Amino acid sequence: VLSAAEHKKATGVRTADIAKRLLDYGFHPPTVYFPLIVEEALMIEPTETVSKETLDAFAQALLAILNEDPGVVKNSPHTAPVSRVDEVKAARELNLRW
């Protein structure tokens, strides 16, 4: 479990922004904001089958994101078919079909 609290204070980039930016690097975003006792938590749980090379690439992606322009990170993902969704609107205006 990592905390991005200091990075948020310095740049305004939230943990959710970092997770969404990881999509542009080809990584599935990790669990964010859990556990609740860790401010700006980022929980990384690699499986046993993940290679050391993949873990190293993930670490390099995190380091690159921390050094990127905050505006780029806050507006990510840039390469996904769907960019940022309005999560507040989605929660308030449910569109359910079954």
Q: Is residue 98 part of a domain?
A: no
Q: Is the model's pLDDT at 22 over the cut of 90?
A: yes
- What is the pTM (predicted TM-score) of this model? 0.88
- pLDDT tier at 10 (50, 70, 90 boundaries)? very high
How many domains does the chain fold into? 1
Strand (E) or helix (H) holding 9 = helix 5-11
Q: Is residue 44 part of a domain?
A: yes
Q: What pLDDT, in 10s, does the model give residues 76-89?
A: 999 998 888 888 99
| Burial status of residue 71 (CB atoms within 10 A of its CB: 0-12, 13-18, 19 or more) | exposed
Q: Is residue 30 part of a domain?
A: yes
**Domain interval for residue 63:** 2-92
